Amino acid sequence: MARPLSQEDRDFLQQNFARYAEAWQPGFEMLQRHFAVEAERRWRTFELRLTTRDVFGLRFSLTVGRKNGSLRQSGPALPEGPALSPEELAQVDEILKKTGELWLLGPLNHECRRVDLAPGLEGLRGERRLATRRIGGRALLFLAEQEPGGELCCVSLDLAGQAVEELRWWELPPPRQGRWLRPEEAEFIDRHLRQNGDFGVYGSVTMGLRALAEHFELAIRDEAGAYHFSVVPRDGHGHFLHFAMDRASGEIGAAAAGHLERAPHPEG
């Protein structure tokens, strides 16, 4: 018979999460921040049903052994709702073409990359598997890597407003989240790179966001009220820069700079 969790049950689960990888250690605090949580105690297990607290409504489940603390997970399962019709897919394609581009900060290493949407949906999809849902006035796109366990990229479009509404990646436990730089945010970064990005003898980033992403390995972390940049030559040879930009003013602080040298090719 299933029963609600007692405080003793919650304490057991909290201690048990701490046995696993670091991302699990915040335990219930982390789960309740990201998910609507339904939990119950059964004869041999604790069962937790998780639904993301965003427009995507993805569902995951956790099964925890009451005796040995074993942890099994499943999901994500997509929200209930119809798949997009051919007419709605055509509308999505036109919205993406009108949007023109997306600037993304990847979920693992904060890699900043530009996605060209001139091809529409195919430009966004690439080699990933596509599933869709229509929930009210939203078109939801779920883009999964081909290999099992790969990242799931979720995109929401406002059909009436003809605009991309949200983009994020999901897995369990939630990693450091990648995200979408909204157009006004990308424009802000680009403008202040051009205005404030001259470091004198240490180098310059005044060529702007697009050129940096094209010619360098560019990573941007968004934390503590600032964008933190890492700019490294793609071929591993030349100057690298690390600096921060204030999110409110666009002011750029001093850069940490250095020089990379490619290892010489072995002879023979």
For the chain, the structural domain boundaries read 7-77, 86-178, 183-260
Q: What is the mean pLDDT of the chain?
A: 89
Greater pLDDT, 178 or 10: 10
Which DSSP string corresponds to 173-213? S--SPPEEE-HHHHHHHHHHHHHH-B-GGG-B-TT-HHHHH
pLDDT attached to residue 112:
94
**Measured distance CA(212)–CA(220) in Å, rounded:** 11
Cα separation, 46 vs 41, whole angstroms: 5
Mean pLDDT in residue range 24-28: 83
pLDDT of residue 266: 52
| φ, ψ for residue 38, nearest 5 deg | -115, 125
pLDDT of residue 268: 44
Mean predicted confidence (pLDDT) in 24-30: 83
Q: Cβ(178)–Cβ(167) under 8 Å?
A: no
At 138-197, the pLDDT tens digits run 999 999 987 766 678 999 999 999 999 999 999 888 765 678 999 999 999 999 999 999
> How many whole angstroms separate alpha carbon 252 and alpha carbon 184?
18
